Structure 1
Amino acid sequence: MTTHHSHDTGHDAGPDTGHGSVNAMAVSATLHCLAGCAIGEIAGLMVGTALGLATGWTVALSVALAFVFGFTLSSLPLVKTGLGVAAALGLVLAADTVSIATMELFDNLVMALIPGAMDAGLVNVVFWVGMMISLAVAFVAALPVNRYLLQRGKGHALIHGYHGQATEPEGFRRFIPDLATPTLVAVIVAFMVGGLVVAAADELGDEPGGAPSHASATR
């Protein structure tokens, strides 16, 4: 795919660069970053809880993993097209850093404002509801940021031209999975709903007349 970026249409690979196109690209880019952030945050919280880390260290680990997973998910499609790992990572750092940073700022701010959400364990309804709310707020906050960057040929516009290339991957690149954004989002939603259901079942088991669950019995 040839690159024909201009100051006005650097974010698009074709002549149709209306507001609908920009909005669709901004939504897709934001959802992709959100998926990486969610995976990293949940992984960090699970590790922090398992290791018994203090809240501050757990949050720091979650933020770090959010960046790691966010950058990784954006780099894999570029590497699959034939781009070198270093070159792909360089593009992704330039494209996604602002978006992920915006998400993490608002996500953690909302979690801090929800009473008990930061200190809630994984088997806790407050945690999962708080996570859902915070990620939704993070998406709303990052969407206009990504749209602004796309309109100026920055952000995901820097890597948009590499997506959808028809070149056949070779070597190890053949084994890189095609992780479509809707698939990632569906997996994250399913995982979070599952966590909420487990937490609700555990709390119901703690109520009088309910059989104590294994998680509640060990607290």
Structure 2
Amino acid sequence: MSGHAQQAAAGAGWGMAVSATLHCLTGCAIGEVLGMAIGTTAGLGNGVTIALSVFLAFIFGYALTARRVARTGLPLRQAVRIALVADTLSIAVMEIVDNAVLVALPGAMDAGLGTVTFWLSLGFALAVAFVVTVPVNRWLIARGRGHAVVPHAGH
């Protein structure tokens, strides 16, 4: 475990987990909204729309972390590797929960992009996914994984 990972693991608390999950939520939300908007507008089936949303959530989640890591001076290739290690489980949990909630909500997957139902359902699903993912990130960080491996400027 690197010195940074040891330091993060030693200080792993709910605040750090919430911060890591908010970061994850940002990428997931961008991908989810974009995927749902494309799928809904194009009239794609629910399965294809969900697959597109999940794919884009991973892409945006990894991209945001890799961008942040690259700002610390690490080469982009190394930043991408760190993002893959740091975010995969967090994004996966968030996407599983988020999409399970969307599928379970009556009318959510059939709501049009311009409806209140669409936006309220998506917001609710992401909020539930956030709550479920915070303990996952805390567990990862406490073990020197997840965002514990993400270098920050000034460290």
TM over 0.5, yes or no? yes
1:97 corresponds in structure 2 to: 88
- Specify which structure has the higher proportion of helix: 2
Tell me how many residue pairs correspond in the alignment: 154
2:17 corresponds in structure 1 to: 26
In the alignment, the residues of structure 2 paired with residue 5 and residue 42 of structure 1 have an alpha-carbon distance, to the nearest angstrom, of 33
1:23: how far off?
1.4
Letter in 2 for 1:11: A
**Would you say 1:4 and 2:21 are equivalent positions?**
no
2:68 corresponds in structure 1 to: 77
2:130 corresponds in structure 1 to: 139
2:27 corresponds in structure 1 to: 36
- SS of the aligned residue for 2:3 comes to coil
Give the structure with higher Rg (CA): 1
8 A contact 1:110–1:134 mirrored in 2 = yes
The percent identity for this pair of structures is: 51
Letter in 2 for 1:114: L
Could you report, residue by residue, the CA deviation over 1:10-69 in whole angstroms, capped at 9, with x for unpaired residues?
425xxxx45xx5211101000000010000010111112232222211111011000000
1:113: how far off?
0.9
In the alignment, the residues of structure 1 paired with residue 122 and residue 4 of structure 2 have an alpha-carbon distance, to the nearest angstrom, of 38
C-alpha root-mean-square deviation of aligned residues, in Å? Answer: 1.7
In the alignment, the residues of structure 2 paired with residue 86 and residue 78 of structure 1 have an alpha-carbon distance, to the nearest angstrom, of 10
In the alignment, the residues of structure 2 paired with residue 55 and residue 80 of structure 1 have an alpha-carbon distance, to the nearest angstrom, of 37
1:189-200 to 2 correspondences below 5 Å: none
Structure 2 residue runs without a partner (length 5+): none
Structure possessing the higher relative contact order (Cα contacts under 8 Å, 6 or more residues apart): 2
8 A contact 1:99–1:146 mirrored in 2 = yes
1:44-193 to 2 correspondences below 5 Å: 44-159=35-150, 162-165=151-154
8 A contact 1:150–1:156 mirrored in 2 = yes
Q: Aligned in 2, Cα 1:5/1:84: closer, same or farther, shift over 3 Å?
A: closer
8 A contact 1:10–1:152 mirrored in 2 = no
1:173 corresponds in structure 2 to: none
In the alignment, the residues of structure 1 paired with residue 16 and residue 117 of structure 2 have an alpha-carbon distance, to the nearest angstrom, of 33
Structure 1 residue runs without a partner (length 5+): 167-219
- SS of the aligned residue for 2:8 comes to coil
Per the normalisation by structure 1, the TM-score is 0.66
Could you report, residue by residue, the CA deviation over 1:67-108 in whole angstroms, capped at 9, with x for unpaired residues?
000001111011122211111111111110000000000000
In the alignment, the residues of structure 1 paired with residue 96 and residue 43 of structure 2 have an alpha-carbon distance, to the nearest angstrom, of 24
In the alignment, the residues of structure 2 paired with residue 94 and residue 10 of structure 1 have an alpha-carbon distance, to the nearest angstrom, of 18
Runs (4+) of structure 1 exceeding 6 A deviation are: none
Per the normalisation by structure 2, the TM-score is 0.92
Letter in 1 for 2:8: H
In the alignment, the residues of structure 1 paired with residue 106 and residue 36 of structure 2 have an alpha-carbon distance, to the nearest angstrom, of 17
8 A contact 1:11–1:157 mirrored in 2 = yes
8 A contact 2:41–2:113 mirrored in 1 = no
In the alignment, the residues of structure 1 paired with residue 122 and residue 49 of structure 2 have an alpha-carbon distance, to the nearest angstrom, of 14
1:196 corresponds in structure 2 to: none
